[in-house]
Amino acid sequence: MNIELLAVAELAARDAGQIILAALNQPRRPDYKGQTDLVTKTDQECEDLIIKHINSEFPGHSILAEESGAQDTKSDYQWVIDPLDGTTNFVHGYPSFGVSIACLRSGIPEVAVILELPVNRLFTAVKGQGAFVDGHKIKVSNTETLNESLLVTGFGYDHGNKWEANMKLFKHFTDKSQGVRRLGAAAIDLCHVACGFVDGFWEFDLKPWDMAAGILMVSEAGGKVSQLNGINIDIYQDHILATNGNIHEIMLEHTKPVLESLL
Ligand code: IPD
Ligand code: CA
Ligand code: CA
């Protein structure tokens, strides 16, 4: 079954990727979901197309998608879709955005596909079978210490307490590591942990569709994923720490108290 799920997710991601790449050659006018939370007609077009693919192959499955919300059929299978992760980057032409599609069974990610654009790198993972980029097996880095690490984070659209808390972590980890990148597409950041470009990623204020596929990608690439306090990852809790495993505990020493200070 997972192979069929993967095939549909891949096809849907590739088709959505074509729409996004074509839109890069045209003016991209955003609408605003919030002051800095952008959405374009491309987000909606891609989502409609991905859902069409899923509905035609698996009409009974549940769907949770960023722009259209939840279709709950009570199936064991649920697709979690971010049709365009990194919309702000896409609008500006900054080259870090993509399509993220996960299929969960009884709440556990089974299959993940993330298409990184505009580079067109296809990340795939199936539970228990490893993670791949363009068909080649990938694994997380083997960096052992924080001071040898390159990290990445993101800042949500809501500039409240969590945003302030993340500024503190950003300062701390910038001081203690070889640098902290901030690219603006959480699903892509997670792929970069999975393939070892960076050693760790953390973020507050994410949504299930930002994380679902990336969580499986990092786990299947041999990394570790948890909430910012070390508790098992839960896509309905809005924070994540994903690392190569080696630096997980040391990062938790800093993320945990900052998270607790928000409670
Ligand atoms: C956003 C990106 C960004 C993260 C935001 C997300 P969107 O997704 O993943 O990196 O910092 O919290 O909302 O809105 O571009 O799909
Ligand atoms: Ca997103
Ligand atoms: Ca999105």
Cβ of 87 less than 6 Å from ligand 1: yes
**Mean pLDDT throughout 27-43?**
83
DSSP state, 135? Answer: T
pLDDT of residue 35: 76
Closest CA to 13 of 120, 92, 94: 120
Atom 16, ligand 1: residue with shortest CA distance: 85
Residue type at 213?
A
Atom 5, ligand 1: residue with shortest CA distance: 156
Nearest-atom number in ligand 1 for the CA of 87 is: 15
pLDDT at 148 over 90: yes
pLDDT of residue 37: 75
Residue type at 108?
I
User: pLDDT exceeding 90 applies to what percent of the chain?
Assistant: 91
pLDDT of residue 31: 82
**Is this prediction's pTM over 0.95?**
yes
Between vectors from CA 230 to CA 226 and to CA 232, what angle results, nearest 5°?
Answer: 50
Q: How far apart are CA 43 and CA 29, in angstroms?
A: 12
Range 252-258, long-range pairs (CB < 8 A, 24+ positions): 252/226, 252/228, 254/169, 254/172, 254/173, 255/169, 255/202, 255/228, 255/229, 256/228, 256/229, 256/230, 258/165, 258/168, 258/169, 258/228
Could you tell which of 210, 215, 238 is best to mutate to test the pocket of ligand 1, judged by most ligand atoms within 8 Å of the CB? Answer: 210
**Mean pLDDT throughout 65-94?**
97
pLDDT of residue 178: 98
3-state SS, residue 65:
strand
In which band, very low, low, confident or very high, does the pLDDT at 217 lie, cut at 50, 70 and 90? Answer: very high
pLDDT at 38 over 80: no
